[in-house]
Amino acid sequence: MTMIQINDDAPAVIVASDQTQSAPIVIAHRGASGYLPEHTTEGVVLAHAMLADYIEQDVVLSKDGIPVVFHDLILDDLTDAASVLPDLRRADGRWHVMDFTLAELRTLTVTERRSPSRPWKDKGNRFPLESGRFRISTLAEHLQLIHGLNRTRPHQAGVYVELKGPAEHRAASLDISKAVLEVLTQHGYDSPDDHIYLQCFDEAEVLRLRTELKTPLRIIQLLSQPADAAKLKTIAEVADGIGVPLSHVVTGKNADSTPQVTELVRNAHANALQVHVWTFRTDALPGFAGTAAEYLEWLVVAAGVDGIFADQPDVVVDWRTARRQQVNGGNSFRLLKERGQEKSQ
């Protein structure tokens, strides 16, 4: 891989690397969640079979401090906790993951999301509600599974770990960052070259990961609000990229059918930050996007995003493969910028 020096305004630890053959990286959003209940073992296996580059692992701690793979801090929308362990409901009327030991979490069944406020809910193409016997797994179990699949299949999938609610964990006398980093180290994730990203919305925790906890792993700062150039420059001091909603990058379609693209990716790349967007869903495309292929073309070629979270990762993988063939085996979208251990000389 050819390393090239970038502009002097970038942090000294940033390098740029030619990764055109892997653009964009495809991240299986909570596993293959467009086809199976999110964060289940079965969803991990399917995402691996669909050739996702990374498989997302949202992490919450159990009451006894074990990192488990689960998106929400509460269990209500995704499990049968209300009927299995009714006495563990809090005064707020909800069942919180951190109130359950791992043994108790093991007794629960995971289902497709029940909440109706999802644009794909009425389309009838998601896994049936209250169907199957899906279980909550630990982060260690999923890492072991992915390592095993990487050995038995001709595909190498990485992991993309999100630390959920660090402040809420601290309020329960739990340290999610330390617990997760310990598990990751035990499974061989301890270098910036490893096939892993860490992500978190909590900016103070991202800073802590890099400074106090001194992790060398690649970090993505998640953002729910658009960031200006000054904000991106600050983020670049500790993080390797940003994770943003699709709508922060492509906002609509012009009268001539070209996409309306913001300056976010350009500004992020100027600070050597990768841009990973969430969440691509074939059954919830924005109204201005005619087809999934057209939308992907806008996101990747017109806007220049570096990674895409997808409920249907196979669709993005297939699109990427087809486009490579169209450009004679190459995929020359751009130079992606990554954080390295030292600046190239």
Residue 335 counted as domain residue: yes
One-character DSSP codes across 164-229: --HHHHHHTT--HHHHHHHHHHHTT--STTSSEEEEES-HHHHHHHHTTS---SEEEEE-SS---H
- 29 an active-site residue? yes
The pLDDT of residue 343: 35
Domain CATH for 334: 3.20.20.190
CA distances from 191 to 151, 215, 298 (A): 20, 8, 33
Q: How many whole angstroms separate alpha carbon 160 and alpha carbon 218? A: 10
- 248 an active-site residue? no
Counting the structural domains of the chain, the total is: 1
Q: How many whole angstroms separate alpha carbon 123 and alpha carbon 296? A: 21
**Which member of 39, 48, 71, 248 is catalytic?**
71
Look at the chain and count its residues.
345
pLDDT tens, the chain, 345 aa long: 233 333 334 333 333 433 444 579 999 999 999 999 999 999 999 999 999 999 999 999 999 999 999 999 999 999 999 999 999 999 999 999 999 999 999 999 999 999 988 889 889 999 999 999 999 999 999 999 999 999 999 999 999 999 999 999 999 999 999 999 999 999 999 999 999 999 999 999 999 999 999 999 999 999 999 999 999 999 999 999 999 999 999 999 999 999 999 999 999 999 999 999 999 999 999 999 989 999 999 999 999 999 999 999 999 999 999 988 876 443 333 434 444 443 333
Residue 87 counted as domain residue: no
Q: Which of 247, 206, 205, 208 is nearest to 226 (CA)?
A: 247
Residue 172 counted as domain residue: yes
Residue 89 counted as domain residue: no
pTM more than 0.95:
no
Percentage helix, strand, coil, to 5, in the chain?
30, 20, 50
Residue 199 counted as domain residue: yes
Residue 55 counted as domain residue: yes
- The residue segments making up the domain with residue 247 are 3-73+136-339
Please tell me the number of Cα atoms within 13 Å of 311 on its side-chain side: 19
Residue 144 counted as domain residue: yes
- Nearest 5°: CA angle at 108, between 103 and 112? 145
The pLDDT of residue 117: 86
